Structure 1
Amino acid sequence: MTDFEQTNPANSHPSLDALRETVQLGLPAAIADLSSLVRIPSVSWDGFDPAHVAASADAVKALFDGVGVFESVEIARAPIGSTETLGQPAVLATRAARNGRPTVLLYAHHDVQPQGDEASWDSAPFEPTVRGDRLYGRGASDDKAGVMSHVAAIRAFAATVGTDFDLGLAVFIEGEEEFGSRSFSNFLTQNQAALAADVIIVADSDNWNVTTPSLTVALRGNVAFKLTVSTLEHASHSGMFGGAAPDAMLATIALLATLHDENGSVAVDGLTSWETETPDYPEEQLREEAALLPGVLPIGTGTVLSRLWAQPAITITGIDAPTVVNASNTLIPTVTVKLSARIAPGQNAADAYAALEAHLRAHAPFGAHIAIDNVDLGSPFLVDTDGWAATEAKAAMHEAWGTPAVETGIGGSIPFIADLVTVFPEAQILVTGVEDPDTRAHSPNESQHLGVFQRAILTEAVLFAKLNDRA
């Protein structure tokens, strides 16, 4: 059995063999189209050329136009918050359901993270490169492979059953997910009627490994902000006043140290955990996948996956302070850090922020002044796995992969799912994806496993066939 071959499980969909053959035949075109998208450096962050994001949106629109099943395909933008500033361009496509069939909303995003230090890449970040069974490039997996899995699945489904099918389809390919989905809520409000669906597939997650599919059933939320610690009105000579006057770096280090206990577990009153059973995930696997250096010990308590899925985590992701090369013999008056907290499913993001703020103010050492700004909140999410859509999705995964799906949590966050729940409370949300533990999303040498890509396409095509049969 090659990497791309699978046997059919019992009770598989009648169209499975035909869909598998169609997906196989269409795979070279899907990889070529994915490669073309990767060549567009569609970084949505401030400071990067927005023309690239616009070009990416144009390319994605052309792909959905090309499948020939939608009544409308357009590029749309929505304002950010209460401002008149428009967010990055998104692609919106619609096809109405007929004869009582459900409607499926397909979500992915076409923007990407910055490439970072190009010297850390083994090949140019925006030049798609196949090495072995992986396609390398920024966005090759996160999330342009998610975009293409939707496109290729629709192609295969339409080629197999014909274009006159009854299933309703809506598409929302966002252009600023990597920059906080700042216009997401307004986009949903403006296009609520067009995006209304019975099932929402969010193709922006991962799989257990390259041979075992996952349905993501739990996502941690996030609380992020800038924390500024100040102790002096201005810098002072470290020889003249050091030892009596506290510098801001000393105060910052002391304050941040209170966030964790001696095991590295979060020690902030009010941050909660989620009680759940987790699959086996040995420490050795964590060492390999997280790239721990020899001798470095994991932190926290409980099973490894409970620490990643069900407990809070706090990381300092950035710090503004003099660089070593610019260091002078002075007491630093002010230090600013970026604090990123992941919060467990079941906790409200506003409550988690309140707990963090209270802790920091209560533990500020030496009477240091603290200020918090640029607060960003995202709620966690739990999937209702008893719904019929989850049942159908797991069956489709089993049929496409030849292996039963694993229900997993994710340590990362997809905050906009809370917006989807608010606007479409009756919809069943499925969090799927094309990544695997070696994808390295957001990191140098990001890549997409092509076997996973093919099986993700087939999974979605089979799910379309199942839902097209469902009254």
Structure 2
Amino acid sequence: MTSVPPTAGPDTESAVTEAVNLGIPSALSDLGDLVRIPGIAWPSFDQTQLERSAERVAELARETGVFDEVRVLRAAVPGTDEMGQPAVLATRAARNGKPTILLYAHHDVQPPGDDALWETSPFEPTVRDGRLYGRGAADDKAGIMSHIASLRAVREVLGGDFDLGVSMFIEGEEEYGSRSFTQFLSDNADALRADAIVVADSGNWDSTTPGLTVSLRGNARFTLTVRTLDHASHSGMFGGAVPDAMMATVRLLSTLWDADGAVAVAGLTERDAPTPEYGEATLRDETGLLPGVTPIGRDSILSRIWNKPSVTVIGIDATSVEAASNTLLPEVSVVISARVAPGQSGEEAYAALEKHLRENEPFGAQLTFSDVDLGNGFLVDTSGWAVSMARQAMADGYGAEPVDLGVGGSIPFIADLVREFPEAQILVTGVEDPYSRAHSPNESLHLETFRHAVLTEALMLTRMNAR
């Protein structure tokens, strides 16, 4: 890795480090307050909580004393008459030719799921064994507070008249598909335009080793409905002669994978790129893979997660076990979520999946595709000055050399940022580690990782100001 020497003086950086360390307790207290607000963008949840969440984030931004203007804004959802969820936009103009950096995170969270699976209440922040537990503690309210805490430290040391331009965009519907994101970018393009964009919504190699995300898979999600009958029939009377929808669905879905569990859909591509060492024992430890259950796919484990497509059935509508009766089902619906290798568009991947399913429809079953949601992957250009500066700040902030990461999940809006601001360098960072369990019960934040992440960003902002 090419080393970039610090461009701020050692006394300044030492003072920034001290300010970060002294500010962590306050930052964690504010993070706890945010976790207590159950801001979920799904319409079935109380939407006033998202308004509370946005207003609290706006208040935190104003209290830094950094920004010229802080606003809570909404944008229209394209193609509908709906407005998107409240987002926070804070801006500070650059001075004396310095660059502008845009800091992104999101204040909405995933639904908690079954409360019985949580060891403590999902919206009551709880510290145990060096981790802060709660929904959003890691994804992504810690991302918000890493921005706020780093700005507090920078202002404390540099004062309020530093020259770096800083904007902060805290979205309110990332977990719900960022439906108004593209319109928000268009509406606020001048305020959001920046030389570098920090997306604090990813993870690290482990709790002590930082990661810079350089590739992301895209996504293709849709609902598939399989019909074989125009009404339900008695399974004893006609079973064995009439294919019910469940039988057809099971047969059809099984064609998506080969005997090793690798995706078997023609037209879905793979990316050829090296990956770090990562063994099966680590996979088992980080995922809770049960004894005797084997991993799926071929080649290195990380290549399967970072560089190859995957297909998962994430939902199904059929008769429940509790309500089961001796009936041939006329219709079954499933939600299919595919992760698309970096370099292939979501549109191309969806076309390949639909073609495969239609060509393999069993017994002439009728297939309907709906609720299609597509997103493109992302590959970082790692040659820019901001990437080099971010890597060096990570090495100094964590005391460990960063690892270039691929991520199996998708952040489709990054492709929108690249399209809207093609000159900006994108830095995908985060505070999560492999045990954070984002989206799952008992989501948590490793407290020491959080401190390192805040120090990293504070050092990077300080050096950008002196660049």
TM tier relative to shorter chain: over 0.9
**Residue matched to 2:406:** 409
**Residue matched to 1:139:** 136
- Given candidates 443, 452, 464, the residue that maps to 2:449 is 452
Deviations 1:37-93 (A, max 9, x none): 000000111200100000000000000000011110000000111222111000000
The one-letter code sitting in structure 2 at the alignment partner of 1:115 is: P
- Given candidates 422, 428, 434, the residue that maps to 2:419 is 422
Pairing 1:33–2:30 present: yes
Deviations 1:296-349 (A, max 9, x none): 000000100000000000000010000011111111010000000000000011
**Residue matched to 1:3:** none
* Pairs within 5 Å for 1:50-449: 50-449=47-446
Q: Distance in 2 between matches of 1:116 and 1:378?
A: 25
Q: Distance in 2 between matches of 1:11 and 1:204?
A: 27
Aligned identity (percent) is 60
Q: Distance in 1 between matches of 2:94 and 2:262?
A: 49
The one-letter code sitting in structure 2 at the alignment partner of 1:119 is: A
The one-letter code sitting in structure 2 at the alignment partner of 1:216 is: T
Answer whether contact 1:139 1:145 (CA < 8 A) is retained.
yes
Q: Distance in 2 between matches of 1:242 and 1:259?
A: 26
Q: Distance in 2 between matches of 1:199 and 1:317?
A: 35
The one-letter code sitting in structure 1 at the alignment partner of 2:112 is: Q
The one-letter code sitting in structure 2 at the alignment partner of 1:316 is: V
Farther off after superposition, 275-284 or 15-24: 15-24
Deviations 1:343-387 (A, max 9, x none): 000001111010000000000000000000000000000001111
**Residue matched to 2:45:** 48
Deviations 1:238-282 (A, max 9, x none): 111100100000000000000000000000000000000000000
Q: Distance in 1 between matches of 2:112 and 2:13?
A: 38
Q: Distance in 2 between matches of 1:94 and 1:39?
A: 27
Q: Distance in 1 between matches of 2:150 and 2:143?
A: 11
Query: TM-score, normalising length from structure 2?
Result: 0.98
Q: Distance in 1 between matches of 2:344 and 2:169?
A: 28
Answer whether contact 2:4 2:389 (CA < 8 A) is retained.
no
Answer whether contact 1:219 1:412 (CA < 8 A) is retained.
yes
Q: Distance in 1 between matches of 2:13 and 2:246?
A: 61
Q: Distance in 2 between matches of 1:83 and 1:367?
A: 35
The one-letter code sitting in structure 1 at the alignment partner of 2:30 is: D
Secondary structure of 2:338's aligned partner: strand
Secondary structure of 1:342's aligned partner: strand
Q: Would you identify which runs of 4 or more consecutive aligned residues in structure 1 move more than 4 Å? A: 9-13
Shift of 1:20: 1.2
User: How many pairs are equivalent?
Assistant: 462
Structure 2 unaligned blocks of 5 or more: none
Answer whether contact 2:215 2:405 (CA < 8 A) is retained.
yes
State the Cα RMSD in Å.
1.0
Shift of 1:111: 0.3
Q: Distance in 1 between matches of 2:335 and 2:81?
A: 28
Answer whether contact 1:16 1:399 (CA < 8 A) is retained.
no
Secondary structure of 1:258's aligned partner: helix
Shift of 1:113: 0.5
Deviations 1:148-174 (A, max 9, x none): 000000000111111110100011000
Structure 1 unaligned blocks of 5 or more: 1-8
Secondary structure of 1:338's aligned partner: strand
Answer whether contact 2:58 2:71 (CA < 8 A) is retained.
yes
Shift of 1:132: 1.9
Shift of 1:11: 4.6
